[in-house]
Structure 1
Amino acid sequence: MEPFSFACSSDLKEDVHIKISNLEGSQKPTELTVLLENPQLRHVGSNTSTHSELYVTVRLWSDSKPLTLPTETSHKNFKNARTWNEWLSLPVPYSEIPLSSQLAVTVWDLYPAGGPKTKFHSIPFGGSTIPLFDKDNTLRKGRIRCRIHRHKQADGYSQSTTPFEVQNDGEMTEMERLEGLMKKHEMGEIPENKWLDQLVFRKIEAMERDSLKTLAQLRRQAQSRITNGASNGDNTNGSAKPVEDEGIWYLHIEFPRFDHPIVFTDREYPPPPISTMQNSASDVRLKPPPEVSFGPGIELDIDPSGHPAPGRLIRIYDPEVGVRDNPCESKHRRLVRSSRTGVLDRDLKPNAKIRDELNVIMSYGPLHDLTDEEKDMVWKFRHHLTRDKKALTKFVKSVSWTDQSESRQAVSMLSKWTTIDVDDALELLGPSFENPDVRAYAVDRLRKSDDDELLLYLLQLVQALKFERPSNTQEENQDQVSEAQDSSLARFLITRAADNFILGNYLHWYLMVECDDVSDQQGAGARQLFAQIEYDFMVELMKRPDGPEQRKILRRQGELITLLSKISRDIRNSAGDRTRKIERLKKFLGDPKNELTTFQPPLPIPLDPTVHIVGCYPEESNVFKSSLQPLFITFRTSGGQPYPVIFKTGDDLRQDQLVIQIITLMDRLLRKENLDLKLSPYRTLATAPYAGAVQFVPSSSLSAIISKHKTLLNYLKHHNPDNTADLGVRKEAMETYIKSCAGYCVITYLLGVGDRHSDNLLLSPSGHFFHADFGYILGRDPKPFAPLMKLDPAMVQGMGGPQHAYYAQFKQYCYTAYASLRKSANLILNLFALMSEANIPDIRLEPDKAVLKVQERFHLELTEEEAIRGFEALISESATAVMPQVIDRLHGFVQGFRA
């Protein structure tokens, strides 16, 4: 389809405008006999002069009700034609008019004699009603000719008696077609040709005059037939009288023209609160519906028999339902959960039936909402559930924290609970839990984690700082920090980061990126929060014996990143080809003034603080071909080994950083299950909202390998030859290739990684297969018909084909990895929940659905056997999909054309 641009009426804040152009038509002069029979007609202006003074009023209607007062044209003294050419403005903006809006346009004639049906010495010359929106719900624009219904005032009813279009004027069909072409000419849709256009316009005017005369003659002939028939005795009662020839009249009006079509769009109101009342399964009416009276002209629902449909009701939403508590239920909850019942509940144990129901509740995922009955059940058996570590999050959800008595009981229960897992502690730090005591309890659980485990969740814990609420404790001593404040998440992170430089390195850069994010999505309050935590971290760091030295290292890292960012922007914006830019990069890195060839003392690189660099190799630097032109820099480590890094500006690496962190976590979870899938998550660090560094892993893309070696199997044979092994590839390399393919297939499917093609699928000489470039996640993909899992046929051929034992082994690794990660689904979902307010592109699009998109791929509602069977079908479908192969071919063709 061709692109179609339009604007929404809700965004158009201008008032409704209409231009009254001119009135055209003719009528036979009133005969003297008629004037003698009715002397009052002598005072009607149009009967005394063919160019008498008329004026026009316009009024906005909707649903048979007027929305504005009439707006009228100014006084005009006509000489040759009744032409106003005047714009009228109605005091209603387009953004507020409903879809059923109509303009009632009435032409008024002067009648000084007055009378009961006159209006300020005026009578209706004729009227016409025109809807503002056409049948396509698009605002009308340009010139329009409206049929004038003589001696009728325009009405704005839904079934108007004065429509602007009359279907029985068959002789005007050709004129309407010509008017449509003239309108296209005015809008620029028909090319302009001045000398020919003048001839055409004159011809159309002549045809229009002839058409009006023809219609008038036909009407007079029809009238004469009626009169003759009456005189010949057709009218037996002799009541027929000659009727005045009113002629055919049209009023030309004009609507404003806009650059794009204006499509009606209703105002989006905030969603109403969700009712806590359960809808009944059957709709039972206890009494008949009340009778509803409708105003004139309002359309009714008509049944096939022609009678109005019974039972039409006007439904009104009650916003108090679901917001205000039911007094009976609130009283019941307070009685059930009062402190008096606490003594009885301590020895209460569930029977077999209730125990099964509790087990079902405990199996719910972190996104499942408990019903009121389930909450009451969990509260009732809370003492029994203290031995179940998975029950604490369900118990916290069951507490009404606005009730002080209930809140005090719940807080006292926290210390009695058995130690919970880390995934539950992370859930308690999410946006749904605001009680400071609950969050302090979750932080106490995190204190038991070692630094390596804490590093896996540090990115999410920094984002969880946005959900922290200040403590409400009033009896704090100014010289002593309260227990709630001492166990807060911010104080915990600062303390642990000050004791461990690796944690401190990443905490510093995570906070600096958030402080530098000046986008509207971040907000000034969040920036101020992170800046305060960064300041407190530096203050705490100076209290340590080696704190000044660590702070100096962080400052040197900042200077290095500033230099790299400057040269990256300068090279990207400089003129010249890629060769000149590479020479400029080498010259900058080798310049002694920049102090990049040698670092003294060695500097921990921010990307990986365990690696100390002492300088760089300017001669090995490079500039990549991509649009952002990232820099390739090889640093020299203290051990003498090279450490290649890709540094880029103009791209937000926080999404890639999140995906790599999740891959690293999943790798650790799989290793705990004794399943090493040879994953190689390269390090990624965002140093600014639109800058960052990526570890370079020596490898080749699938497209480059196929272009040079024809198949992946030939590539593996070339780097890992073994004539005695199956397929001629060393067994360790083939096993690495199979395992890494299985691991990345499962992980990228769970994360919904999109935009997969042969240029971002990489393979190292040792057989490690991995993905790069995570610009699309959570199911987003710029390509049509994208598969749920990327399993390229070239990858299968590298295992010997779909019939080889290696491919069966690959599928078995996929099943095992998928089943293992499903066991840790709550941990992964809680990590994504903590990132709900992070300024990450694919999460920012739909923050409330990000976790749901990950959850639906785990299929937690299925048993393990059913989930593996479904994953088996997914592998078969992905391996034989045709559209991904076609798109990969097109992508390769485009990349080759660009090169």
Structure 2
Amino acid sequence: MSANSYKDDDSTIPDEIKPALDDIRETMVNGFTEEGKAYYEKEFSFFDEVTGISGKLKPYIKKSKPEKKAKIDEEMAKIKVEEGVYLPSNPDGIVVDIDRKSGKPLQSHAKAPFLASFMIEKDVVRVEDEQEIHEKKIEKLSAIFKVGDDCRQDVLALQIISLLRTIWMHAGVDVFVFPYRVTATAPGCGIIDVLPNSISRDMLGREAVNGLYEYFIASYGPETSSEFQRARKNFVKSLAAYSIITYILEIKDRHNGNIMYDSDGHVLHIDFGFCFDIFPGGFKFEQAPFKLTREMVRVMGGSTETQAYRWFEELCVKAFLAARPYAETLAAAVSPMLDSGLHCFKGETIQHLVGRFVPEKSDKEAAQYMRALIRKSFEHVATRGYDEFQRLTNGIPY
């Protein structure tokens, strides 16, 4: 409710639904017991303190990373962890401590996002001799905090991605998707969970890894090994899913900083700030339906004739055909946000979204259409051009 009360990040343009949201919030808070209200205030105070660090970093945007890091450490040291508080994106666990030296400033030209790690206590249930045993488990969780950046678009994209994952699970399509958690907490504020055990393709390049295939060999052994084959299988299943997702939602800004690889070989996409009708810089540099590069194909055997590549094509077709009957359902999930002021809506968003499912085609024609999109995407000149643009302007290797 807080995140949707205003149309701008600075809380100056009220949304039409703000009076209704204010009434609902007031009714809810007035209905709390004294104990409940105290807990509510304690939780929001804690989270505002953590998120507020991003706002305090704004004067340091032009300064060096060590200076930013020192400011984050200074502010993190001031935060008191009250008993029972939790991170909004992870309400199933409570914060028991903060890694006060974990603060890390993240790259941004105009904003001041930062990463921090917390020790979270969770209730874990295991079964032993047909008896449920409840235990406490403490794990480290990292999250990114943002101020002055509307996270609702990421929330919307991840909701659609979660719906697609459910559709594919029910249809028995063997693909892999990981919809990580993003929570919009106030106008222009939010928290983003960090993907566990993963590294961006950008960071691999900065660590002097020559290519994705070389990374797979270094991580999982020779191509003939069972570990490599397992990782390749995970790669294909996830690449197919995210190819369809980026096509359906028209997700752009697919440079190597926004493409991750986890320890099992899955490819994962992050940052959905450019989707539907909006493009980086206002220009549609990325004209391929989705990103399919030479190095990705090399992991699948090096050509479009290998068994792994053909399996990738087959999974793309199956995932697309399984999603088509739900085009209107997915559109209905997007429609309530059309008046939100989100920048990704420029005009006929819903018509274009439904149109990408080619509802006028038969299943056979739709399958042929998807195979044509795959061929169009492979080594598309615009994909290479955008990667080169990102390398020149932001130093992102590819």
What TM-score do you get using the length of structure 2 for normalisation? 0.86
Does the alignment pair 1:718 with 2:218?
yes
Distance 1:722 1:745 in 2: 26
Query: Once the two structures are superposed, what CA deviation does each residue of 1:703-722 show, in whole Å capped at 9, x if it has no partner?
Result: 33245221212212322236
Following superposition, the deviation at residue 564 of structure 1 comes to: 2.3
Distance 1:521 1:588 in 2: 27
Asked if 2 retains the 8 angstrom alpha-carbon contact of 1:686 and 1:693, the reply is yes
Distance 1:518 1:820 in 2: 37
State the partner residue of 2:188. 690
Quickly say closer, same or farther: Cα 1:611–1:897, change in 2 above 3 A. Answer: closer
State the partner residue of 2:40. 554
Distance 2:88 2:229 in 1: 37
Does the alignment pair 1:590 with 2:77?
yes
Equivalent residue for 2:178, pick from 657, 668, 680: 680
Provide structure 2 residue ranges, at least 5 long, that are not aligned to the other structure: 122-136
Asked if 2 retains the 8 angstrom alpha-carbon contact of 1:679 and 1:744, the reply is yes
**Could you say what secondary structure the match of 1:677 adopts?**
coil
Asked if 2 retains the 8 angstrom alpha-carbon contact of 1:829 and 1:854, the reply is yes
Asked if 2 retains the 8 angstrom alpha-carbon contact of 1:521 and 1:839, the reply is no
Quickly say closer, same or farther: Cα 1:521–1:625, change in 2 above 3 A. Answer: closer
Query: Once the two structures are superposed, what CA deviation does each residue of 1:95-116 show, in whole Å capped at 9, x if it has no partner?
Result: xxxxxxxxxxxxxxxxxxxxxx
Following superposition, the deviation at residue 530 of structure 1 comes to: 0.9
Asked if 2 retains the 8 angstrom alpha-carbon contact of 1:623 and 1:629, the reply is yes
Following superposition, the deviation at residue 518 of structure 1 comes to: 6.2
Following superposition, the deviation at residue 788 of structure 1 comes to: 2.1
Following superposition, the deviation at residue 560 of structure 1 comes to: 2.1
Provide structure 1 residue ranges, at least 5 long, that are not aligned to the other structure: 1-510
Q: Which has the higher contact order (CA 8 A, sep 6+)?
A: 2
Does the alignment pair 1:667 with 2:165?
yes
Q: Which AA in structure 2 matches 1:633? A: A
Q: Which AA in structure 2 matches 1:559? A: S
Asked if 1 retains the 8 angstrom alpha-carbon contact of 2:184 and 2:190, the reply is yes
Quickly say closer, same or farther: Cα 1:625–1:778, change in 2 above 3 A. Answer: closer
Asked if 2 retains the 8 angstrom alpha-carbon contact of 1:716 and 1:765, the reply is no
Quickly say closer, same or farther: Cα 1:897–1:818, change in 2 above 3 A. Answer: closer
State the partner residue of 1:614. 96
Quickly say closer, same or farther: Cα 1:689–1:819, change in 2 above 3 A. Answer: same
Quickly say closer, same or farther: Cα 1:896–1:518, change in 2 above 3 A. Answer: closer
**Could you say what secondary structure the match of 2:256 adopts?**
coil
Asked if 1 retains the 8 angstrom alpha-carbon contact of 2:234 and 2:265, the reply is yes
Equivalent residue for 2:55, pick from 540, 548, 569: 569
Equivalent residue for 2:293, pick from 767, 792, 801: 792
Query: Once the two structures are superposed, what CA deviation does each residue of 1:410-457 show, in whole Å capped at 9, x if it has no partner?
Result: xxxxxxxxxxxxxxxxxxxxxxxxxxxxxxxxxxxxxxxxxxxxxxxx
Equivalent residue for 1:780, pick from 267, 275, 278: 278
**Could you say what secondary structure the match of 2:340 adopts?**
coil
Q: Percent identity?
A: 23
1:230-629, aligned counterparts within 5 Å?
511-517=1-7, 523=14, 525-539=16-30, 542=32, 551-574=37-60, 576-591=63-78, 594-595=79-80, 598-600=81-83, 602-627=84-109, 628-629=111-112
Following superposition, the deviation at residue 798 of structure 1 comes to: 1.9
Asked if 1 retains the 8 angstrom alpha-carbon contact of 2:117 and 2:141, the reply is yes
Distance 2:96 2:218 in 1: 35
Distance 2:170 2:38 in 1: 38
Query: Once the two structures are superposed, what CA deviation does each residue of 1:307-335 show, in whole Å capped at 9, x if it has no partner?
Result: xxxxxxxxxxxxxxxxxxxxxxxxxxxxx
Distance 1:718 1:518 in 2: 46
Asked if 2 retains the 8 angstrom alpha-carbon contact of 1:561 and 1:687, the reply is no
Following superposition, the deviation at residue 548 of structure 1 comes to: 5.5
Following superposition, the deviation at residue 739 of structure 1 comes to: 0.6
Following superposition, the deviation at residue 534 of structure 1 comes to: 1.7
Following superposition, the deviation at residue 526 of structure 1 comes to: 1.6
Equivalent residue for 1:879, pick from 366, 373, 378: 378
Following superposition, the deviation at residue 533 of structure 1 comes to: 1.7
Asked if 2 retains the 8 angstrom alpha-carbon contact of 1:599 and 1:615, the reply is no
Asked if 1 retains the 8 angstrom alpha-carbon contact of 2:222 and 2:228, the reply is yes
**Could you say what secondary structure the match of 2:191 adopts?**
strand
State the partner residue of 2:127. none
Asked if 1 retains the 8 angstrom alpha-carbon contact of 2:4 and 2:340, the reply is no
Quickly say closer, same or farther: Cα 1:897–1:806, change in 2 above 3 A. Answer: closer
Distance 1:640 1:721 in 2: 33
Asked if 1 retains the 8 angstrom alpha-carbon contact of 2:324 and 2:359, the reply is yes
**Could you say what secondary structure the match of 2:49 adopts?**
helix
Following superposition, the deviation at residue 539 of structure 1 comes to: 4.5
State the partner residue of 2:117. 634
**Could you say what secondary structure the match of 1:693 adopts?**
strand
What TM-score do you get using the length of structure 1 for normalisation? 0.40
Following superposition, the deviation at residue 871 of structure 1 comes to: 0.7
Quickly say closer, same or farther: Cα 1:766–1:553, change in 2 above 3 A. Answer: farther
Asked if 1 retains the 8 angstrom alpha-carbon contact of 2:5 and 2:187, the reply is no
Does the alignment pair 1:891 with 2:368?
no
Asked if 2 retains the 8 angstrom alpha-carbon contact of 1:680 and 1:770, the reply is yes
Asked if 2 retains the 8 angstrom alpha-carbon contact of 1:754 and 1:779, the reply is no
Quickly say closer, same or farther: Cα 1:522–1:748, change in 2 above 3 A. Answer: farther
Distance 1:774 1:723 in 2: 33
Asked if 2 retains the 8 angstrom alpha-carbon contact of 1:557 and 1:606, the reply is no
**Could you say what secondary structure the match of 1:625 adopts?**
coil
**Could you say what secondary structure the match of 1:642 adopts?**
strand
Asked if 2 retains the 8 angstrom alpha-carbon contact of 1:832 and 1:850, the reply is no
Q: Which AA in structure 2 matches 1:514? A: N
Equivalent residue for 1:837, pick from 333, 339, 343: 339
**Could you say what secondary structure the match of 1:641 adopts?**
strand
**Could you say what secondary structure the match of 2:314 adopts?**
helix
Quickly say closer, same or farther: Cα 1:883–1:694, change in 2 above 3 A. Answer: same
Distance 1:515 1:553 in 2: 23
Quickly say closer, same or farther: Cα 1:743–1:553, change in 2 above 3 A. Answer: farther
